Each structure stands twice: as structure tokens, then as C-alpha cells.
């Protein structure tokens, strides 16, 4: 089953008619300059991008039927959590520690580099909703989310190394931890030793 089909089966579904009605109501909100809790721009974005699941996240007070979030969402949340932790920890390193980390592959100013726009577009779409509409992980908000290269394989190598350290709590990652996690960016076939 394709990821797109799986996504549509598990998350909130609006019928085509409901989408049209919702979009028409958004236009009315704009024309009448209604100032209400429901954000018509958000509704439009959720519908046009196929991210209706985000309605329940944006409006938790509305008793939506039980639904499953997209299967990619948990993975994206894990990836964003990991990169936020990496970036914050790197910022807190001493100058000496930063210089030491720079001697390792990908150790110079490590930053979340997004997802591949060609092959991981659903990941970009979900991430964009999280950052720009749901105000999560604001550190990444104004970044280009298109890495222009496949990244999921890289992140899936990094996550086990990250989770092994995360079990100790949300303490800052030290130089050794960062080196080991960032070292997973290098494909195993290209590692020395």
C-alpha cells in the first residue's frame, strides 16, 4: 500500500463536498472580516495540503471522532526533537568543544537539513504544518525544509544513537554524544576503521 493511500485511510477524511463547503465558508469569513477562533487561512492550508489531521491538533476543544495521525508524524516528531536537542546542545558547548567537534564529519555547526522535496514531500508537508500552522519546533520555522537529497535513511541511523542517550533524560548532549550521533550521518560503508 502506498504511503499516500495509507495516509488518507488513517487520518481525518473530509468528503469533497465538505472541503468545498469549508473553503466557501473560509471565503465568507474573509469577506465579512469575521474575527473568530477558527482561522480560515489554517483551514485552507490543511485542506489544500491534505493535512486534515492537523485540525484536531489546532482545535483540541472540538470533539472530533477518534482518528489516527499520519504514520509519518511520530517519525517526524522524533526527528525534530532529535535535531532540536542536537542544536541546543551544540550551542551550549564551549569554544574548545565546538572546535573538537568540528574535527569530526558534520560536526561544524550541525543544523537540521530537512527532507528531500522529490521523494519525501509528505514529510515536508507535515513538517511545514507543524512549524508554520501549529507553532511547534519554532527553531526551524523559517528554514528551507527541502534538503535536495534523501534524508530519512540518515535520520533513521541517527535516531537509535540519539534515543540511547535520551533515556538518560533531556540533559544536554555532551561532545562525545554529539560526535556519536552526528557520526551516523556518514553511511556505514564510508566510515573509516
Tens of pLDDT, residues 140-188: 999 999 999 999 999 999 999 999 988 777 789 999 999 999 999 998 8
Is the pLDDT confidence value at 90 over 80?
Answer: yes
More confident residue, 160 or 191: 160
More confident residue, 138 or 23: 138
CA distances from 173 to 32, 59, 113, 151, 163 (A): 51, 34, 19, 22, 11
Look at residue 3 in the predicted model and tell me its pLDDT.
46
Check if the beta carbon of residue 180 is closer than 8 Å to that of residue 142.
no
| CB atoms closer than 10 angstroms to residue 114 | 21
* pTM reported for the whole predicted model: 0.84
* Three-state DSSP state, 146: strand
Tens of pLDDT, residues 101-153: 999 989 999 999 999 999 999 999 999 999 999 999 999 999 999 999 999 99
Instruction: Grade residue 11 by pLDDT with cuts at 50, 70 and 90.
Output: low
Helix axes 95-102, 175-183, angle to 10 degrees: 20
CA distances from 25 to 20, 40, 43, 144 (A): 9, 8, 10, 31
Instruction: Grade residue 26 by pLDDT with cuts at 50, 70 and 90.
Output: confident
Look at residue 8 in the predicted model and tell me its pLDDT.
43
d(CA 72, CA 178): 25
- Mean pLDDT, rounded, for 59-79: 90
CA distances from 77 to 25, 127, 150 (A): 32, 9, 18
Check if the beta carbon of residue 110 is closer than 8 Å to that of residue 182.
yes
Is the pLDDT confidence value at 33 over 90?
Answer: no
CA-derived radius of gyration, the chain: 20
Amino acid at each position: 500500500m502506498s504511503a499516500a493511500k495509507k495516509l488518507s485511510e488513517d487520518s481525518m477524511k473530509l468528503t469533497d463536498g465538505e472541503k468545498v463547503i469549508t473553503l466557501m465558508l473560509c471565503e465568507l469569513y474573509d469577506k465579512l472580516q469575521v474575527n473568530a477562533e477558527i482561522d480560515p487561512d489554517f483551514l485552507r492550508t490543511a485542506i489544500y495540503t491534505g493535512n486534515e489531521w492537523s485540525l484536531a491538533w489546532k482545535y483540541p476543544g472540538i470533539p472530533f471522532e477518534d482518528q489516527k495521525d499520519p504514520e509519518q508524524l511520530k517519525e517526524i516528531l522524533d526527528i525534530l526533537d532529535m535535531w532540536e536537542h542536537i542544536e541546543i546542545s551544540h550551542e551550549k558547548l564551549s569554544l574548545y568543544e565546538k572546535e573538537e567537534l568540528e574535527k569530526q564529519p558534520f560536526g561544524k555547526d550541525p543544523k537540521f537539513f530537512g527532507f528531500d522535496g522529490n521523494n519525501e514531500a509528505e514529510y515536508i508537508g507535515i513538517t511545514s504544518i507543524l512549524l508554520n500552522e501549529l507553532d511547534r519546533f519554532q527553531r526551524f520555522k523559517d528554514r528551507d525544509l527541502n534538503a535536495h537529497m534523501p534524508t530519512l535513511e540518515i535520520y533513521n541511523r541517527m535516531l537509535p544513537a540519539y534515543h540511547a542517550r535520551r533515556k538518560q533524560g533531556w540533559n544536554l548532549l555532551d561532545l562525545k554524544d554529539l560526535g556519536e550521533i552526528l557520526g551516523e550521518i556518514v553511511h556505514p560503508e564510508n566510515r573509516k576503521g
